[in-house]
A = this chain, B = another copy of it.
Amino acid sequence: MHIGTTLRVLGILLMLFSSTMLVPLVIGLIADDHTVEGFLVALSITFFSGLAMWLPARASRHELRIRDGFLITSLFWTVLGLFGALPFAFEDALDLSPTEAIFESISGLTTTGATVITGLDSLPHSILIYRQMLQWLGGIGIIVVAVAVLPMLGIGGMQLYRAEIPGPTKDSKLTPRITETAKALFSVYLALTVVCALCYHLAGMSTFDAIAHAFSTVAIGGFSTHDTSMAWFESNTILLICSVFMCISAMNFGLHYLAWRRRSLRHYLGDSETKFFSSIVLVCIAITCGYLILSGVIAPEDALVHGLFQAISITTTTGFASENFALWPTFLPVMLLMFSFMGGCVGSTGGGIKAMRLMLIFKQGIRELKQLVHPQAVIPLKMGKRRVDAAVVSAVWSFFAVYMFSFITILLLLMGTGMDFITAFSAVAASLNNLGPGLGDVAANYAGISETAKGLLCFAMLLGRLEVFTLLVLFTPMFWRL
C-alpha cells in the first residue's frame, strides 16, 4: 500500500471536486440568494482539505498497483460523499441532520437518486443544480472506473473486458490507461449530455431544467428539480425523449465510443450484452403495459406511455417518475424492483448486477440443464463467439451470491430497527441497485426513516456502486497485510 501516493491522488481528486461547487456558487451570486456563504465555506473546506492531503505527499510518485485501485476507488465515493455533503449541511433552508446531508450527497454521487429533501420546487437554483451536478460527476466517475479500473481489479468477472478497453494503452499500469480512457469516455459522456439537454429544451423544458435533467438522465441518476419528477412537465414528448436517453445511457459507453470513432452502429448489433439487455427491457415493457391495460388502473393510451417510461426508468435504475407507481397494483412496482436487479450494461452509468453478469448466469443455467441430460458431454460456455474463461464465470457467480447475501443482510438489519417489510425490501433494493425510489414509507422520499436506517442505506448505495467486492475487500485483514 502506498499511503503517500493514495493521499496525493485523493488530494487532487478533492481539489478538482471542490471546483464543481463553483457553478452553484456563481448561480447563487447571480440570484443573490442566501446559499452563497454555504457554498463558499464548503468549497474552501474541500479545497484546503485536498491541499492538505496533497502537499505533504506531492513527491510520492509510486506507480499505482492493483491493490491501490481498491482503496482509491472506494475512497473516491466515500470521501467525496462526505465532503459533498457540506453544502447540504450548511443550507439552513434544507434543515438536514449530518446523516441526511451525507445521505443526499452519497445518493447523488452514486447516482442512486434517493432523496431526503421535500419541497424541491421552492429550493434555490444553486442547491438544485448542485444536486444534479453531483449525479453527473458521479456518472462519469462510474464509467471511467467500470471501463478502466474494474477490469484491472478483476471484480465480478470484469476481467472479461480487459482486452476491450478503448484507448491506445494496454499497459498493466493503472495511471496512463485511466487518463487516456477517461478522456475518450468523457467526450462521449459530454456529447450525450449536450444532445439530451438540447432535446429536452426543444420539447419545452426551461434551459435550467433541460440542463439539470440532462445531467441526471445521462448519469442514470434520477434526481429532479421537482418533487413530482418528470410528471411535472406533463409532456409525453419529454417522457419519450427521456426514455431514449435512459436506454442509451444504460448501455456500455465503450460501445458508444466505438460508434463515434467508427461512425457506425453495426457493432451494437453484434454485442451479446446489448442484445440481452434490450430483450429484458422489452419483456419488462410488455408486461408492464399489458398488466396496466388489463388492470384498468389508468387509461389504455396513458398505460402505454407510462408503462414504457416506468419500465425503462426502473429497469435501467434511473428512477425518474412519470406517475406515482407506488399506487399501481403492488405486483407492478415489486416486479419492476426485481428487474432493477439487472440494471444497466457493464461500462454504463446504470446500477444493479449488470446485464452481462445476468446473461452469463442465465447461460450457465441452460448449460447445466444440458449437462444433466448429457452427463458425458463437454459443453463450453460462450459469449458471442468467444469462450468464457472459468475464472470469469466463477467471479460472476460469487458476485451474484455476495450481492444477494448483502441484500438480505441489510434488509434484516433494517427490519431489526423496526422497519416494515415492504419499506425495507424496496429501500434496500433501491439503494443497493442505485435505483432511488422505493415503496411503502420510502415511496415519496427517504426523510421519514430513522437515522440508523439512513446510515445503513448509505452503506448499501456505496456497496452497490463499488460492485460490492471493491468495498468488501477492504474489510478483510489480508488486504491490509503485506
Contacts and interface: CB of A to CB of B under 8 A. Distances in A.
Interface of A: 66-67, 70, 153-155, 291, 329-331, 334-335, 338, 361, 364-365, 367-375, 390, 393-395, 397-402, 404-405, 408, 411-412, 415-416, 418, 420-422, 425, 469, 472-473, 476, 478-479
Contacts of A422: 421-422
A425 B415 contact: no
A472 B369 contact: yes
Contact of A330 (B155, B365, B421): B421
A67 B375 CA distance: 10
A439 to B, nearest CB: 8
A397 B364 contact: yes
A372 B155 contact: yes
B421 A368 contact: no
A372 B473 contact: yes
A369 B330 CA distance: 38
The interface residues of chain A, by DSSP majority, are classed as helix
Given A154-B375, A415-B331, A478 B370 contact: yes
Nearest to A417: B331
A385 to B, nearest CB: 21
B404 A404 contact: yes
Given A394-B364, A404-B404, A408-B338, A372 B331 contact: no
A161 to B, nearest CB: 15
A371 B415 contact: no
Contact of A473 (B67, B334, B373): B373
A479 B291 CA distance: 33
Contacts of A155: 372
7 contacts: A330-B415, A334-B411, A334-B412, A365-B398, A372-B473, A394-B397, A404-B404
A257 B393 CA distance: 37
A398 B364 contact: yes
Nearest to A440: B421
Total identical chains: 2
Nearest to A381: B394
B372 A394 contact: no
B390 A331 contact: no
A26 to B, nearest CB: 43
A294 B338 CA distance: 33
Nearest to A329: B418
B154 A371 contact: yes
Contact of A398 (B368, B408, B421): B368
A365 B291 CA distance: 38
A268 to B, nearest CB: 27
Contact of A401 (B70, B153, B364): B364
Contact of A334 (B368, B404, B421): B421
Contacts of A338: 408, 412
A402 B365 contact: yes
Contacts of A399: 368
B373 A334 contact: no
Contacts of A374: 478
Contacts of A415: 330-331, 334-335
B330 A154 contact: no
A50 to B, nearest CB: 28
A373 B418 contact: no
Contact of A393 (B370, B375, B394, B400): B394
B469 A372 contact: yes
Nearest to A425: B421
Given A334-B421, A390-B390, A416 B368 contact: no
A140 to B, nearest CB: 25
B154 A476 contact: no
A369 B329 contact: no
A2 to B, nearest CB: 16
A41 to B, nearest CB: 39
Nearest to A291: B416
A411 B338 CA distance: 10
